[in-house]
């Protein structure tokens, strides 16, 4: 087992989750400063508070390291005034931040830095293959870059075959063959080979073949594509707070242990007391690994959901998420186990089980590695180390507390929107950090509540905190 000392992050999602302990945690801590609204707020620096969540809409897409949700690649004269414009408008209307390229606006032979950045920083690329697509060297260069991002990053490519078939695209026949007759007179073999390889790879991907969907009207088809994009964005990227401190080394440590190219089925356990950000670390790993798998599933609050709705509900979610369809009701746990074994054994999947409390949860959801396809990875978070005392778990990673400097930095991110306190609040900040014992959940909640408040509020809050011993704070937060 690996022990990660001085773990210094916390997640807004974990702190504010629907589980009973998290909800009570936030409420209990808020009670320490419940009178703060009656006292004037202090003047704050002009910089914005930087803590926000990564989501699907354009207002939040950048917080995950991506500038766009979708990159559209198309041949302007072929589709700009038709399906491309309709799709672009529909994506924007759905709150999906979309970059629309137009090959007619390109200058020069190479992809410019702005366009290159747009492709690299998009979660999904949608090339719209038309009869003239392969005649555009810019479209082909974009496609090569998309394929690179698919391999090196976690980008998904969702092709639309507008007035050509997938076979024409991947085998370079028809108008695509004519295009390469022209290209071979102007470009060297290395460039031609890259273009052909990219067309072959993307031509083999699952997408929309418009010619074979003649019964659907264009509006209905575009709506279907938008809904599929929304589903992919929700599935592949989990919400993670931006208020992170030193997370990189923990991610790197786990990445060193998880062999990305392994055909083995790997089960990873992350454990530690509640509120120490096990869920946050697991989500980051999930987001980084998701592009390697056919299908992914995130099941939150396993402990609570199993108590309220039964383990059958969790089995149902696993099947629906992986198989991408509404599965019939699971009659009992044994029925669920049988169905999971039969339906998922050939699929390479990524599964995140959050807050597993008992081995019975694992037995019912992931059982033995042979239930899943080769190369699958299962990430489990738990407060109970006994859950991981089974031979199927490859390794465990323990998260333990934070040191003072890291605690102060985390607190300041929430209280001031930066890594260090305002000079006049330095002593207050130091004392608050000391009284919480470096507990991430307490630091986040109290820091957020003190954001913008006057010194009087800080003084009252500090006095209340000093009356509560560290262990009692943990008990009140219900995260021991």
Per run of 10 residues, the mean pLDDT along the chain (length 480 residues) is: 38 34 43 43 41 36 69 90 91 91 55 84 94 94 94 87 95 96 95 97 93 71 90 73 72 80 86 81 85 86 94 94 80 93 91 94 92 93 91 86 84 91 92 81 86 90 77 50
Paired strand residues for 53: 241
* The pair of three-digit structure tokens given for residue 246, joined into one six-digit string: 């030193």
Q: Is the dihedral of CA 303, 306, 311, 314 positive or negative?
A: negative
**pLDDT for residue 19:** 36
Do 254 and 381 contact (CB within 8 A), yes or no? no
Q: Quick count: other Cβ atoms within 10 Å of Cβ 281?
A: 28
Paired strand residues for 74: 128
State the Cα–Cα distance between residues 32 and 119, nearest whole angstrom. 47
**pLDDT for residue 34:** 47
**pLDDT for residue 198:** 97
**pLDDT for residue 57:** 37
Spatial CA neighbour of 208 closest among 141, 287, 293, 130: 130
Domains present along the chain, CATH in parentheses: 1-54+240-480 (3.40.50.300), 61-234 (3.40.50.10140)
**pLDDT for residue 107:** 53
**pLDDT for residue 36:** 40
- Residue 167 has, within 13 A of its CA and on its CB side, a CA count of 3
* The pair of three-digit structure tokens given for residue 56, joined into one six-digit string: 């699907």
* The pair of three-digit structure tokens given for residue 380, joined into one six-digit string: 């489990």
Spatial CA neighbour of 232 closest among 299, 160, 119, 321: 321
Spatial CA neighbour of 202 closest among 129, 293, 110, 306: 129
Q: Report the DSSP pairing between strands 156-157 and 160-161.
A: unpaired
Q: Which residues are catalytic?
A: 142
């Amino acid at each position: 087992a690996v022990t990660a000392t001085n773990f210094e992050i916390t997640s807004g999602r974990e702190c504010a989750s629907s589980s009973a302990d998290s909800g009570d945690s936030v409420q209990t801590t808020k009670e320490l400063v419940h009178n703060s609204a009656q006292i004037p707020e202090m003047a704050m620096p002009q910089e914005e508070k930087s803590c926000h969540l990564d989501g699907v809409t354009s207002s939040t897409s950048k917080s995950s390291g991506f500038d766009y949700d979708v990159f559209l690649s198309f041949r302007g004269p072929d589709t700009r005034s038709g399906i491309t414009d309709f799709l672009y408008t529909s994506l924007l209307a759905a709150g999906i931040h979309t970059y629309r390229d137009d090959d007619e606006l390109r200058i020069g032979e190479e992809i410019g830095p702005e366009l290159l950045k747009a492709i690299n920083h998009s979660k999904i690329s949608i090339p719209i293959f038309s009869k003239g697509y392969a005649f555009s060297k810019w479209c082909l260069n974009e496609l090569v870059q998309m394929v690179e991002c698919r391999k090196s990053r976690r980008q998904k490519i969702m092709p639309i075959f507008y007035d050509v078939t997938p076979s024409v695209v991947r085998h370079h026949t028809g108008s695509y063959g004519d295009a390469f007759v022209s290209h071979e007179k102007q470009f060297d073999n290395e460039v031609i080979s890259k273009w052909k390889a990219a067309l072959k790879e993307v031509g083999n991907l699952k997408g929309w073949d418009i010619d074979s969907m003649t019964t659907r009207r264009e509006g209905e088809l575009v709506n279907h594509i938008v809904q599929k994009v929304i589903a992919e964005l929700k599935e592949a990227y989990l919400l993670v707070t931006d208020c992170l401190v030193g997370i990189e080394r923990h991610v790197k440590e786990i990445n060193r242990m998880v062999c990305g190219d392994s055909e083995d089925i790997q089960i990873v356990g992350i454990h530690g007391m509640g509120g120490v950000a096990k869920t946050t670390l697991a989500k980051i790993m999930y987001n980084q690994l998701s592009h390697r798998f056919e299908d992914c599933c995130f099941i939150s609050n396993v402990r609570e959901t199993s108590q309220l709705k039964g383990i059958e509900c969790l089995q149902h979610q696993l099947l629906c998420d992986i198989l991408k369809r509404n599965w019939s009701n699971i009659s009992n746990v044994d029925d669920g186990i049988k169905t999971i074994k039969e339906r998922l054994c050939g699929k390479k999947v990524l599964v995140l089980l959050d807050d597993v409390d008992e081995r019975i949860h694992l037995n019912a959801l992931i059982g033995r590695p042979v239930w899943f396809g080769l190369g699958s990875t299962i990430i489990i978070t738990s407060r109970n180390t006994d859950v991981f005392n089974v031979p199927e778990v490859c390794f465990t990673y323990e998260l333990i507390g934070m040191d003072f400097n890291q605690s102060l930095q985390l607190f300041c991110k929430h209280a001031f929107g930066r890594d260090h306190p305002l000079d006049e609040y330095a002593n207050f900040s130091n004392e608050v950090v000391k009284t919480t014992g470096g507990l991430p959940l307490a630091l986040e909640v109290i820091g957020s509540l003190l954001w913008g408040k006057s010194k009087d509020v800080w003084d009252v809050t500090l006095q209340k905190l000093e009356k509560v011993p560290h262990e009692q704070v943990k008990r009140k937060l219900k995260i021991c």
